[in-house]
Structure 1
């Protein structure tokens, strides 16, 4: 909104040319970050008080973990503030005519809505069941399909020469120069799987104070850098990297998301004053998966989001092993509970996972040169 206003003022009167500094992508990304931090930091204390007065506490499953039971009653649905602060900042500083804004908006609002319904049912019914897994998956698939449909339709209606871009149904293979696979008609279900899978993986990771939000920030920061590169023809050609028209604007969106996540982390560090709930975890995971799809980093997401992959795989392995062999591989799944069962303090697990996530982010950025 502010970006479009600045551009209009410059066109109307040259006297406003000094405002052009605020129209640059880097300037708007920084301003979006600051805006979302301020908004979230301002809203969380009020939200915590209101949620406590409404007794909107997070129901806790009986896992045999004393630390987990101490969290009973902690306000949840903090993800709503993350979404609100992100979108408010985005509306102010992002170019709203950018086609990728619509794709990200569908996922952010849609996945956030599904998560909200799940959180609301848990709170009102005073149990951990919430929305049934089938209904939750159906909701995610509907909004994921809508987002990918818009993305592909808008991609195929571009007037940019295709030789400069990654073909809309193609997947880039990291660390290998010019190795691109065109999935054709199979791309849509693949892309939807990436988005919905990432959403659920982040949700599974959100089990300890500050655990999920740390890797979300490192992944968002990595994707922000990669989005800028793929959106800049000069930089991408210099690095012999693929180009995605308009993807540079996504860096403003991700910058706003990082700011809102930092604001949330302030109140989510141990001992947490508020949880993000499914309304936050599903939306954040969906955003990361969607950006990876838009920018052609679906495969690289496995590396940068290695923490989420490990958490999801631990659940799959545990269930498969118990059903086929009657034995458990881990003491408890997701894997962060395994280390709790081994006696690791919650803070140690969280910080070590943050460190691993940071290393994976650096390795992912290296793909810009190591090919």
Structure 2
């Protein structure tokens, strides 16, 4: 528990102190955000706001994760970095690297388009495939690997076995879906960072619960066959702390944007966590806001191509409410509430499944 608190505290401190340094440095270098012309007119005033703030989030996550482990070396029962934690952190960083290139190209060419779709998909593909392959390695003393070839809700669904090849392809689907979903959500000041704080906070509870009732240390009904849940809790805490620290400067009116550097990295983190905690289906509930944002784009494109009509005034659908007359801060706060409600429902489902398994 101390390591979890340390990870959150260190990540928050690093993120909240590094972000204003980045704001000054990026402003001096002219690393400003380009705003798409077809977006809401009110957003044009944001042109030139420093971007690539995801660097602060990634730095905070690394500092919180490694710092908590270094301090924990002198503590009793403290655990070092694990295969699961490092794999998720590696996936997060790799996706952050893809996003950094995307942001940098936008800045250099002074346009709202960075990497082309093919280049971005290749980056996501390489990171996801590498993660999927490695997730089936590093078998622990208990025989568990970071990933499982079974589809999972709160634990493995034994009757649905994907096989190694399909599992790796499934990893790519999740990484691509979640990274793009968070990227689409990052369209209003602080929206993605605030929503991620709720989701990662929920996963701190989930992973710590999995550690407390793991089949290795507490065998019996309802126990969880998840490798390294405590280390994943430390990583989730670091991610939540880094997002909250960044949100201090990213909240409306934003002094800096996370850019694709942050949104792709955080989306990759969600995908990695869903796989290593055996909660791929539950993540759809906890991250429902991101799912809804991505779905609004899919629906808008599909309906427009088939009927030349629009379901929403603009997609992603947070812009729909802006164009309907809601103030930006109203949209943000209400969407944060939706993210909090989704996280609470996800936790309730997680706990109810535990009770059902215990009773069974």
* Match in the other structure for 1:261: 243
Q: Is the 8 A contact 2:34 2:110 kept in 1?
A: yes
Q: Is the 8 A contact 1:241 1:368 kept in 2?
A: no
The structure 1 residue matched to 2:196, chosen from 192, 212, 216, is: 216
* Match in the other structure for 1:251: 233
Alignment of 1:22-37 (within 5 A): 26-37=1-12
Q: Does 1:131 align with 2:115?
A: yes
* Match in the other structure for 2:160: 181
The structure 2 residue matched to 1:44, chosen from 9, 14, 19, is: 19
* Match in the other structure for 2:151: 171
Measured after TM superposition, the shift of residue 63 of structure 1 is 2.4
Alignment of 1:215-234 (within 5 A): 215-232=195-212, 233=214
Measured after TM superposition, the shift of residue 179 of structure 1 is 6.6
* Match in the other structure for 2:330: 348
1:153 is paired with a residue of what secondary structure?
Answer: coil
In the alignment, the residues of structure 2 paired with residue 330 and residue 116 of structure 1 have an alpha-carbon distance, to the nearest angstrom, of 30
Deviations 1:131-150 (A, max 9, x none): 00110011011011111111
Measured after TM superposition, the shift of residue 266 of structure 1 is 0.3
* Match in the other structure for 2:125: 141
In the alignment, the residues of structure 2 paired with residue 54 and residue 152 of structure 1 have an alpha-carbon distance, to the nearest angstrom, of 43
* Match in the other structure for 1:333: 315
Alignment of 1:1-371 (within 5 A): 26-94=1-69, 95-154=79-138, 157-160=139-142, 168-174=148-154, 181-185=160-164, 186-232=166-212, 233=214, 240-371=222-353
Q: 1:236 to 1:366 in 2, by over 3 A?
A: farther
Q: Which ranges in structure 1 are unaligned for 5 or more consecutive residues?
A: 1-25
Aligned length: 341
1:181 is paired with a residue of what secondary structure?
Answer: strand
Q: 1:161 to 1:107 in 2, by over 3 A?
A: closer
Q: 1:36 to 1:180 in 2, by over 3 A?
A: farther
Deviations 1:269-307 (A, max 9, x none): 110000000000000110011011101010011100101
TM-score calculated relative to the size of structure 1: 0.87
Q: 1:325 to 1:225 in 2, by over 3 A?
A: same
In the alignment, the residues of structure 2 paired with residue 316 and residue 246 of structure 1 have an alpha-carbon distance, to the nearest angstrom, of 36
Q: Which ranges in structure 2 are unaligned for 5 or more consecutive residues?
A: 70-78, 354-360
TM-score calculated relative to the size of structure 2: 0.90
Q: Is the 8 A contact 1:166 1:243 kept in 2?
A: no
In the alignment, the residues of structure 2 paired with residue 97 and residue 360 of structure 1 have an alpha-carbon distance, to the nearest angstrom, of 30
> Over the residues paired in the alignment, what is the CA RMSD in angstroms?
2.1
TM superposition outliers: structure 1 runs of 4+ over 6 Å: 176-179
Q: 1:211 to 1:112 in 2, by over 3 A?
A: same
In the alignment, the residues of structure 2 paired with residue 158 and residue 192 of structure 1 have an alpha-carbon distance, to the nearest angstrom, of 24
